[in-house]
Amino acid sequence: MKKTILSLLIACCTLVTTLAQTKITLNTDLAKTQISKHIYGHFAEHLGRCIYGGIYVGEGNTKIPNTAGVRNDVIQALKELKVPNLRWPGGCFADAYQWKDGIGPKANRPKMVNVWWGGVTEDNSFGTHDFLDLCERIGAEPYLAGNVGSGTVKDLSDWVSYVNHPGGSPMAEARKQNGRATPWNVKLWGVGNEAWGCGGNMTAEYYSNIYRQYATFMSDSKDAVLYKIASGASDGDYAWTETLMKNIPHKMMQAVALHHYSVLGWTVDKGPSVDFNEAQYFKIMEEAWQMDEFIKGHSTIMDKYDPQKKIDLIVDEWGGWYSVEPGTNPGFLYQQNTMRDAMIAGLTLNIFNNHADRVRGANLAQIVNVLQSVILTNEEKMLLTPTYHVMKMYNVHQDALLVPISIESPSYNFQGKELTAVSASASKDASGALNISLTNIDYSKPHEVTINLRGEDFSKMSGKILSSAKINDHNTFEQPNKVSVKDFSGAKLEKGVLKLTIPAYSVIVLNVKK
């Protein structure tokens, strides 16, 4: 009998201690820094089926409902996502794109070969008007990436005039002749893309001078003061950022870009998007967590030259990158999207939010049918990915005030390595409500979370959760809702303390009100 009781006690103690303990403190009355909505931006490149077939199906298409050739289901989904800005036309494609080939009567537009992505020929039927009109329909600010690699200063200057000048200039008159009387007033401009690579294989010193030249001839207009973004570093190339911050006059530059992908390695075989193992999963999570390290490193250099933080850091390419789906064009970068991608999204957005004093924009790569997409399409079918659901859950943070946070989380351990398992960020919206986002990247363990709310009293609470039975779970055109958001009622609030359990590989967003 004694042995039985002892066994029961040991079993109970083991059960109590199986849940890893995460402790979070939120100083709700100290929220001051605004989380820019532009952190939740997206990216649409002329790559694979992102534009043609994904966004644009042609004005004569009677099979797929569309508005001016743009899929109605995509328009509605992006409206609901509250996309703050959309970057176009690339990417590597941007520095090969001749924007004047994409305006005027579609039947007269010259064709081009997309040398970067699959060598396909496209007809330029989706151009400046189509993209900027799409942005208006979904309520997003356009972010145009200028051609610095193969274009000229005049080409980019003319593009600025075409979309922004109210009238009287040759480019503004050409716009009017092409059916658009009023300017779009585009403010966000990338001065080239990946100048260290596909944008020209330049040195940082050379690009700094090129940037100064191009930026000089990009003119503001009455209703569009330009926000110019310099082509920034990849990953931990801190020397690139230092050279730009040192050599480009700050009055000519509003932001510096940064690119970082969560990828197993830059080989042909980047690992499967669905049938991955824990070793591959852990490595991708390791890469995702590196975003925090890179932001801190680049911010430290920027602080050296810009202590008042007037120059923003824009992470305008990020996300997971795997091998393409079997049987698809290797140059189209089409991959599935699982709960692993939801982990990348939740973790990365928490990192961005918590660095909102310097990170004021970002663009997930890419929006439809390419890399870590929020939408996948197949002819008339469309589905929303786990990443879409995380981005939608997190959009409560857009333009809200960042709540200072301290967190103690146990590790997710694998083969002698460890990563912080639970990440979190919090904000206070205009109504005074508190929104808390939590992501547990642990491959197998749920975590018990205790959140101390200091500074204000709260009494009401609701929540949403994205979770699934397996880490490899994903949505298909046959099962488009296998992974979906559900209401979460497992959190308890008592005397300023929130307690909940977050399952393994899950995302939770809580809304707490006074």
The catalytic residue positions are 194, 317
Residue with structure tokens 């699934």?
Answer: 468
CA pair distance 156, 162, nearest whole angstrom: 10
- Written as six digits, the tokens of 488 are 């979460």
Beta-carbon contacts of residue 11 (< 8 Å; ≥ 6 apart):
none
Radius of gyration in angstroms for the set of CA atoms belonging to the chain, rounded to a whole number = 24
Q: How far is Cα of residue 395 from the mean position of the Cα atoms in its chain?
A: 12
Burial of 73 (C-beta count, 10 Å sphere; 0-12/13-18/19+)? middle
Angstrom CA distances, 202 to 134, 229, 243, 508, stand at 33, 17, 13, 43
Torsion of CA 178, 181, 186, 190, to 10 degrees: 20
Question: Can you tell me whether residue 158 is helix, strand or coil?
Answer: helix
Sign of CA dihedral 318, 242, 361, 455: positive
Helices (H), 105-257: 128-138, 153-164, 170-177, 204-216, 238-247
**How buried is residue 144: exposed, middle or buried, by Cβ count under 10 Å (0-12/13-18/19+)?**
buried
Exposure letters 206-238 (e unless 16+ CB within 10 A, then b): ebbebbbebbeebeebeebebbbbbbbbbbebe
**441/453 Cα distance (integer angstroms):** 24
